[in-house]
């Protein structure tokens, strides 16, 4: 990946931030985007101190025009694009019966349509470089998770999009990777939207027991270098996907019971 140009959406925190550092340390030129200029500035300092060549752009992935502007800026600055990592994402946590449907729309706009818009804008350049398209999905894209219906829906949609696109591009030389971390220590749960669309501002799981964002980034980097088709992380994640294929009814109960253990889970009350 030395001297490759890598665009990472949602690069201001969590896995995106870790990916920027991982690729930068390997000699890549890194482009990070995000909606929060302050958080992007913090990552800029980190990249600069590491001696990493970077470009930082304030952008909202849910806006098609923003994605087009980002790609134009990348081409002006570097003249090439080799890897697109669709990492920007948001979660939600509420029972569907209590949920404002606009919350699902917002999650879909960022998690799914954000990836669609970025990929559409980047594709002509990735066809030229025979580069990589990466979608940061989730175990929730293989197994629906209660209290996270909107998040699961967005990741199932992303998985289907990437699979269809991979097939379309089969003879193009473009690599498509679906990367699915398990529960990862990041700020995504803190930023989760509640039933009314407001950020919850707290995590409901023990972050200390989760895979770190840095380890996730290292695994994704390796999978891109090896041009893998799919990456499912953590033993729990792999087991969940496997069991769900073989014993879906059993997994309904297992997943319910596991997520009912979360702090203040609404599943406990039922």
The confidence band for 188, taking pLDDT boundaries of 50, 70 and 90, is low
Mean pLDDT of 9-18: 96
Residue 270, pLDDT > 60, answer no
Are 91 and 192 within 8 A, CB to CB?
Answer: yes
Choosing from 54, 117, 142, 151, the catalytic residue is 151
Are 58 and 35 within 8 A, CB to CB?
Answer: yes
Residues constituting the chain: 270
Residue 88, pLDDT > 60, answer yes
Position 197 scores a pLDDT of 83
Calpha distance 150→135 (Å, rounded): 17
Position 171 scores a pLDDT of 98
Mean pLDDT of 51-65: 98
Instruction: Pick the more confident residue, 185 or 3.
Output: 3
Instruction: Pick the more confident residue, 205 or 236.
Output: 236
What class is the 5-237 domain?
alpha beta
Position 56 scores a pLDDT of 98
The confidence band for 183, taking pLDDT boundaries of 50, 70 and 90, is confident
Q: Is 13 helix (H, G, I), strand (E, B) or coil?
A: coil
Please write down the long-range contacts of 160-168, taking CB distance under 8 Å and 24 or more positions apart: 161/112, 161/115, 161/116, 161/135, 162/133, 162/135, 162/137, 165/119, 165/133, 166/229
**Least confident among 29-33, 63-67, 171-175, 184-188:** 184-188
Residue 203, pLDDT > 60, answer no
Residue 204, pLDDT > 70, answer no
Q: Catalytic: 151?
A: yes
């Amino acid at each position: 990946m030395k001297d490759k140009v890598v665009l990472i959406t949602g690069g201001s925190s969590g896995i995106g931030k870790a990916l920027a550092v991982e690729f930068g340390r390997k000699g890549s030129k890194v482009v990070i985007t995000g909606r929060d200029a302050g958080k992007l500035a913090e990552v800029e300092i980190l990249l600069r101190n590491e001696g990493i060549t970077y470009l930082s752009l304030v952008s909202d992935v849910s806006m098609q025009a923003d994605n087009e502007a980002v790609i134009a800026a990348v081409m002006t600055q570097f003249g090439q694009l080799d890897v697109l990592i669709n990492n920007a994402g948001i979660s939600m946590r509420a029972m569907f019966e209590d949920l404002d449907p606009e919350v699902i729309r917002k999650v879909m706009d960022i998690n799914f349509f954000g990836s669609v818009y970025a990929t559409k804008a980047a594709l002509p350049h990735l066809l030229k470089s025979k580069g990589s398209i990466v979608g940061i999905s989730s175990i929730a894209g293989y197994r629906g998770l209660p209290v996270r219906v909107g998040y699961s829906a967005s990741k199932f949609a992303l998985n289907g999009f990437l699979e269809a696109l991979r097939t379309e591009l089969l003879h193009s030389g473009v690599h498509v990777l679906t990367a699915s971390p398990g529960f990862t220590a990041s700020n995504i749960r803190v930023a989760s939207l509640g039933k009314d669309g407001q950020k919850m501002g707290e995590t409901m799981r023990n972050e200390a027991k989760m895979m770190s964002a840095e380890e996730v980034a290292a695994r994704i980097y390796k999978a891109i270098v090896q041009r893998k088709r799919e990456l499912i992380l953590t033993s729990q994640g792999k087991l969940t996907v496997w069991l769900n294929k073989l014993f879906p009814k059993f997994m309904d109960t297992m997943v319910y019971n596991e997520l009912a253990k979360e702090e203040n889970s609404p599943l406990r009350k039922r």
